[in-house]
Structure 1
């Protein structure tokens, strides 16, 4: 049953096909999710996702494609002006129909989020140890303040920081250290799902690599599900099992992460892939190439396929006929009329 609600709070893997339910219910299943701002502006349009325990799903796309809106929608963290429809099934329970008390219990304990920009997500006037301890005290009635502080120290050590750093204020930590604090906070109540929204934004490449390896190790050790959001296909291909590419609020391609990165079937996926250098790949000697134009304004989406004004291989029909996700081989799906044809020549797809 589809629910409607308005928010109330501020190498290819052997993973199962996310588009086809198999075996036990998944950890997270999103069905036909839409998010509309102000009643008229569609930020997310009919998104379907599936995440199993221990699985890492990457979501990629340019700024403005709806990635962060999707992440916040999963725990109903959007402003009250956002209208959500569809289903968000977390362990089989629809987040969109939860009463406020139940939703409050699910946040942090059932699923947690690592927000984009740790400096702006942490409270500048409270020590980081107290901020990590706060969700523990809120979700565990038996926890004492002393026990919560000890647990905060253990979590800091788990993410590679000394327990003594619990006494620090956010401004006393580096960018990488603050991001580790955010990850420790996300783990505080042992959630089954972690949503990481651009967790390496503004970090240098060395710290970025450390944070990504840390997240991978924590997911493997604790058997939690992970949704990682980024504009960088290379990072997601290296970190995640599967990958969904978003454009104008919709998923336009999905499949095993390394396959999508190496041989995207949608022209937008190919453009994203070639926008980043492939260091150490002797077969790739060209400089990265950008994609002309900008993502469309959600309030004035073009007709037909929303990507056709920027698409180098668009047909005349693309201006009038929208495309749904269709089978693209190798557990992949893509929303392109040319998906059944051989992959477009790389020079055409990015010129």
Structure 2
């Protein structure tokens, strides 16, 4: 892979964290990250992110917006055809310039990932306990196989499974149990950052709620940073502190998660929010509505604002003038020319 270096709890507390030295770098800082496939197809375009220890950042967007590519790029897990530029600073050290040995040491130990789709992410011919123990043995030269297996059982209990399930093969576990195994594996080497890519995909709502509460508890107990990726804005608003909304490879809105969900300033954010029902919303009792059209092909992006062909409030200038993130009140930013105007009614953004 070619790497070229070029040059965000609810709402954050007003009180500074006095436990950290002044000027301490964030746990993760992504600056102007671009991922291009085949030299011509931009999947991620100039993304900036920031995650502190103990903070939960949600990344939302439709399929094809670049969420999973971004997740894999953070640990350089993309195929060799992908070219990455920008900076990915993990504890102040740029992942894109790491030598292979250093990168191998950082994966799982410094930052780990819960891959999308637990149903097919585990090796079908190995017991789950052995799969959890493997990164422990790889990253701890002093660990013995017996100690690694014992630690695997402890991790399973930590995520709500009996230690005896370490002897099971993946096909003997339910989807929710496999997802718990994936989370246990991500915790195996005590990383400071966990990247969870669609961790509740294909799970029923009861298991989904259990997994989300589990992730929240683990983040709080171990003071790790979390990046949770999903198309479900409601889940992210309930789970994360801050939220970034992606469209066509770029972040088009960011801010405190509940604010972005309840009152998005970008038309795309409002459309995503309107696509999910609000339980107990007696004021409207409206059924959720989808957004017409499809996300653009990354190989043939429209000119100007890439959302303008689907935007119900687009101006003539939106077809020719691209929009950068700008201040949208409080600690929020949005990439829309109308960001200074009052937030449009949901009926305008989804009609």
Q: Answer yes or no: same fold by TM over 0.5.
A: yes
Asked if the contact 1:8–1:79 (Cα under 8 Å) also holds between the matched residues in 2, the reply is no
SS of match in other structure, 1:329: coil
Q: Which deviations, in whole Å up to 9, do the C-alpha atoms of 1:200-228 show, x marking residues without a partner?
A: 00000000000000000000000000000
How far did residue 153 of structure 1 move? 0.1
Asked if the contact 2:5–2:87 (Cα under 8 Å) also holds between the matched residues in 1, the reply is no
Query: Which stretch has the larger CA shift, 10-19 or 84-93?
Result: 10-19
CA separation of 1:312/1:10 partners in 2, compared to 1, >3 Å: closer, same or farther? closer
Q: Which deviations, in whole Å up to 9, do the C-alpha atoms of 1:290-336 show, x marking residues without a partner?
A: 00000000000000000000000000000000000000001000000
Residue equivalent to 2:17: 17
SS of match in other structure, 2:213: helix
Asked if the contact 1:10–1:79 (Cα under 8 Å) also holds between the matched residues in 2, the reply is no
Asked if the contact 1:31–1:46 (Cα under 8 Å) also holds between the matched residues in 2, the reply is yes
CA RMSD of aligned residues (A): 4.2
Asked if the contact 2:256–2:332 (Cα under 8 Å) also holds between the matched residues in 1, the reply is yes
Q: Which deviations, in whole Å up to 9, do the C-alpha atoms of 1:181-238 show, x marking residues without a partner?
A: 0000000000000000000000000000000000000000000000000000000000
Q: Which deviations, in whole Å up to 9, do the C-alpha atoms of 1:28-63 show, x marking residues without a partner?
A: 000000000000000000000000000000000000
Asked if the contact 1:212–1:239 (Cα under 8 Å) also holds between the matched residues in 2, the reply is yes
Distance in 1 (alpha carbons) for counterparts of 2:322 and 2:17: 24
Asked if the contact 2:8–2:50 (Cα under 8 Å) also holds between the matched residues in 1, the reply is no
Q: Structure 2 length as normaliser, TM-score?
A: 0.95
How far did residue 349 of structure 1 move? 1.0
SS of match in other structure, 1:253: strand
Q: Structure 1 length as normaliser, TM-score?
A: 0.95
CA separation of 1:81/1:196 partners in 2, compared to 1, >3 Å: closer, same or farther? same
Q: Which deviations, in whole Å up to 9, do the C-alpha atoms of 1:139-182 show, x marking residues without a partner?
A: 00000000000000000000000000000000000000000000
SS of match in other structure, 1:254: strand
SS of match in other structure, 1:164: helix
SS of match in other structure, 1:75: coil
- Which runs of no fewer than 5 residues in structure 2 stay unpaired? none
Q: Which deviations, in whole Å up to 9, do the C-alpha atoms of 1:238-258 show, x marking residues without a partner?
A: 000000000000000000000
Q: Which deviations, in whole Å up to 9, do the C-alpha atoms of 1:67-89 show, x marking residues without a partner?
A: 00000000000000000000000
How far did residue 4 of structure 1 move? 0.7
Distance in 1 (alpha carbons) for counterparts of 2:21 and 2:308: 31
How far did residue 284 of structure 1 move? 3.7
Aligned length: 351
How far did residue 280 of structure 1 move? 2.1
Asked if the contact 1:196–1:228 (Cα under 8 Å) also holds between the matched residues in 2, the reply is yes
How far did residue 13 of structure 1 move? 6.3
